Amino acid sequence: MQDTLFLLIKVTVKTPYKHIHNAIRELQRETDYHIGSTKNVEVIKTEIMELKTK
């Protein structure tokens, strides 16, 4: 069976940006992550979904 899962990640940040949207945009652009397959689950595709900020 193939399906789509949405995994939420909670991130606490400290930033000099005056607008949090700038920090979000930077994290979306520069974050490295790895979600790997397991014995019973094959990961086919992963992506960071961009939050529409402005």
Let me know if 43 is exposed, middle or buried by CB neighbors in 10 A (0-12, 13-18, 19+).
exposed
- Reported as a single tens digit per residue, the pLDDT across 11-49 is 999 999 999 999 999 998 999 999 999 999 999 999 888
Split into its structural domains, the chain has a count of: 1
pLDDT band at 51 (very low <50, low <70, confident <90, very high): confident
* pLDDT score recorded for residue 53: 65
At 32, which amino acid appears?
A: D
Domain encompassing residue 27: 1-54
At 18, which amino acid appears?
A: K
